[in-house]
Amino acid sequence: MLFTAANGNQRVGKAIKITTDHAQGSTETTGNPLDLAIAGDGYFKIQTAGGIRYTRAGEFSRDNQGQLTTPNGDPVLGLGGPVMINGKDFQIQPNGEVFVDGQLTNRLDVVTVNDKALLEKEGRNLFRLIGNGQEIAAEQATVKQGVVEKSNVNTVLEMTEMISLQRDFEAQQKLIRTIDDIDVEAIRKVGALTP
C-alpha cells in the first residue's frame, strides 16, 4: 500500500533494491608496481575455482611461482593465460602489455560487458556474468601501474540519502501507529455499545 501511494518509489517498503555503481572511482598512487588500476570502462579477468570472475580491484601480488594474483591467490588472466612475472624488472604498459626483463610476455585481458546489469556481485570485489552477459574487449580502457582505484562512493551524497531514508522510515512507523490507535479506538467504542 505504501509503495503504491509513493508512486513506485524504490525506497519504500519491499521495493528496496540493492544496486552496484560501476562508475570509476578516484585513484591513488602507491608506487607498488604490482598495483594496477583501469582508467575507463573495463575489468581484469580472474581465474577462480568457480570459473572466470571480473574485478576492478587491482591490488595484486606475486605468488611463489611468479603468477600475478589477487589477495585470495586467484591468478590474473592475460590473453596468453595467467600473467607470469618471472624476472627482476617488469613493466605493464597502458595497453596492458606485460614486459619482463625487457621482453613482451603477455597482455592483460581487460574486458567490459554488454550489460552491467548482468554482472552479479560475488564476494567483496568480484563479479560474475549471468544470463545473456557477454564480455567484450575493453578497447578504450587503459592500465595504470603503481596506482589503485579507490571507492567511488560519494560520502556526502550517501549521508544525505541515509537521512532522507530514515525520515521515510519514521513516517511509515508513525502511519502504522496511527492505524493501530484507530483500531484500538474502534474496538473500545464497539465494546461500549453492547450491554
The yes-or-no verdict on residue 36 having pLDDT over 80 is yes
* pLDDT tens per residue, range 76-107: 999 989 999 988 889 999 999 999 999 999 99
Contact 36, 44 (CB under 8 A): yes
> d(Cα 68, Cα 82) in Å, to the nearest integer?
7
Contact 109, 45 (CB under 8 A): yes
Q: Please enumerate in sequence order all residues whose Cβ is within 8 A of that of 8, keeping only pairs 6 or more positions apart, or say none.
A: 15
> d(Cα 154, Cα 160) in Å, to the nearest integer?
10
* pLDDT tens per residue, range 123-171: 888 999 888 888 888 888 999 999 988 877 777 887 888 888 888 888 8
Percent above pLDDT 90 for the chain: 39
Q: Please enumerate in sequence order all residues whose Cβ is within 8 A of that of 192, keeping only pairs 6 or more positions apart, or say none.
A: none
3-state secondary structure 60-82: CEECCCCEEECCCCCEEEECCEE
The mean per-residue pLDDT over the stretch 56-75 comes to 92
| pTM score | 0.71
* pLDDT tens per residue, range 101-134: 999 999 999 999 888 888 888 888 899 988 888 8
Among 8-17, 51-60, 150-159, 170-179, which range has the highest average pLDDT? 51-60
User: Amino acid identity, residue 172?
Assistant: Q
3-state secondary structure the chain: CHHHHCCCCCCCHHHCCCCCCCCCCCEEECCCCCEEEEECCCEEEEEECCEEEEECCCECEECCCCEEECCCCCEEEECCEECECCCCCEEECCCCEEEECCEEEEEECEEEECCHHHEEEECCCEEEECCCCCEEECCCCEEEECEEECCCCCHHHHHHHHHHHHHHHHHHHHHHHHHHHHHHHHHHHHHHHCC
